[in-house]
Structure formats: C-alpha cells, structure tokens
C-alpha cells in the first residue's frame, strides 16, 4: 500500500470525468487500498480516485476515521438512483481544496448503487453526513469540486487563495 500525492485545485486533472471500472480485480483493490492510505495520511474522510490522478469511478469513504477507527468503504462505479426533494446544508471541505470550508446545499437523503470490493452490486440509502460525503465524492467523478456549488465570487476567492498558496509553496 502506498500513500499517493493528492491533487489540489486548480489542477486541470481534477476536472476530468472519470471512467467506469470494467472489472474489480487485484489492481483495483490495490488502488482502493492506496486511496485509503492516502486519505488517512491527509486526515480526510473521503477520497475519489481522480484526486490521486486516476480517472476511474472509485470512492473511498470512512466516517469512522473521525473517532480514530479505520473502516474504509470503497464505492466502485457509484450512481445515485434517487435523491430526496428535501435539502440539507453541511459545511464542506476537501483534500483537493485545502483550508477552504463553506456551506453546500445538497439533497438530504439519497439511494446509491455501487460495486463493493468484491465486485458485487450493492444498494445503500444514506442521509446526514454519509449522504453529503457520497454526493461530494461523486461530484469529483464528474470533474466537479465543492467550490463549484458556491457563488461565483466565493469560488473565485477560493481559487485565488489556492493559486497564491501554490506559488508560495513553489517559491519556497
């Protein structure tokens, strides 16, 4: 298992639309393990494969990470099959948009289909933080960052802050 670098905005690779996984095999399971290790190293609770530069429709989420436990759950080829009309607002952050947090409104409840680590089809109904996290990570698979849900002004301010931080990092 390997900790891989996480891409940060405004890296154009984060705008790529990820491709479906054809077969869940040992290479995919190794990728899932690398994603979990990378997520833990960055102290995150979710990570999409594109965030480490792999344009495959794979997410890893671990809400238990907040309590110091490790229970990474991979979601391969996830699709939202239903979303509630009721909305919920959560303050979101992102490993690819470091040090920026803002409120994002999303459907409060969703139903999701995905393949598990063994390639078996699963269905999950989620609400609360899990629903928000799944939607946030699935956005990555379509080249969307959480700041894309913000006003143009807030998004532009976030991009300027990230660009400035990258320039400072490169210079010093």
137 catalytic? Reply is: yes
pLDDT in tens, 121-162: 999 999 999 999 999 999 999 999 999 999 999 999 988 988
Residue 113 placed within a domain: yes
Residue 1 placed within a domain: no
Nearest to 80 by CA among 37, 13, 132, 44: 132
Full domain range(s) for residue 161: 12-171
Q: Are residues 163 and 147 in contact, defined by beta-carbon separation less than 8 angstroms? A: no
Q: What was the pLDDT predicted at 67?
A: 75
pLDDT in tens, 89-132: 999 999 999 989 999 999 999 999 999 999 999 999 999 999 99
d(CA 101, CA 135): 16
Residue 3 placed within a domain: no
Question: Quick one: DSSP state of residue 25?
Answer: -
Residue 5 placed within a domain: no
What total number of domains does the chain contain? 1
pLDDT in tens, 4-26: 999 999 899 999 999 999 999 99
- pTM listed for this prediction: 0.93
Q: What was the pLDDT predicted at 21?
A: 98
User: What is the residue whose two structure tokens read 């794979």?
Assistant: 58
Residue 4 placed within a domain: no
Token code pair at residue 113: 């289909």
Residue 139 placed within a domain: yes
User: Predicted confidence band at 168 (pLDDT cuts at 50, 70, 90)?
Assistant: confident
> Would you say residue 69 has pLDDT above 90?
no
The chain-wide mean pLDDT, for the chain, equals 94
CATH of residue 27's domain is: 3.90.45.10
Helices and strands (H, E) in the chain, number of each type: 3, 7
Residue 105 placed within a domain: yes
Q: What percent of the chain has pLDDT over 90?
A: 83
The b/e string for 89-119 (b: 16+ C-beta within 10 A; e otherwise) is ebebebbbbeebebebebbbbbebebbeeee
Residue 44 placed within a domain: yes
């Amino acid at each position: 298992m390997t900790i891989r670098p996480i891409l940060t905005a405004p890296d154009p690779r984060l705008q790529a639309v990820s491709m479906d996984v054809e077969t869940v095999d040992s290479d995919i399971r190794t990728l899932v393990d690398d994603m979990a290790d990378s997520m833990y190293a960055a102290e995150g609770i979710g990570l999409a494969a594109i965030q480490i530069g792999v344009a495959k429709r794979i997410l890893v989420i671990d809400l238990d990470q907040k309590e110091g436990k490790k229970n990474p759950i991979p979601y391969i080829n996830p699709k939202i099959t239903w979303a509630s009309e009721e909305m919920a607002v959560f303050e979101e952050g992102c490993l690819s948009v470091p040090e920026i947090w803002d409120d994002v409104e999303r459907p409060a409840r969703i139903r999701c289909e995905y393949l598990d680590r063994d390639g078996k089809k699963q269905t999950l109904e989620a609400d609360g933080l899990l629903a928000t996290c799944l939607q946030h990570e699935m956005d990555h698979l379509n080249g969307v960052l959480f700041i894309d849900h913000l006003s143009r002004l807030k998004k532009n301010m976030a991009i300027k802050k990230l660009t400035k931080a990258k320039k400072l990092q490169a210079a010093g």
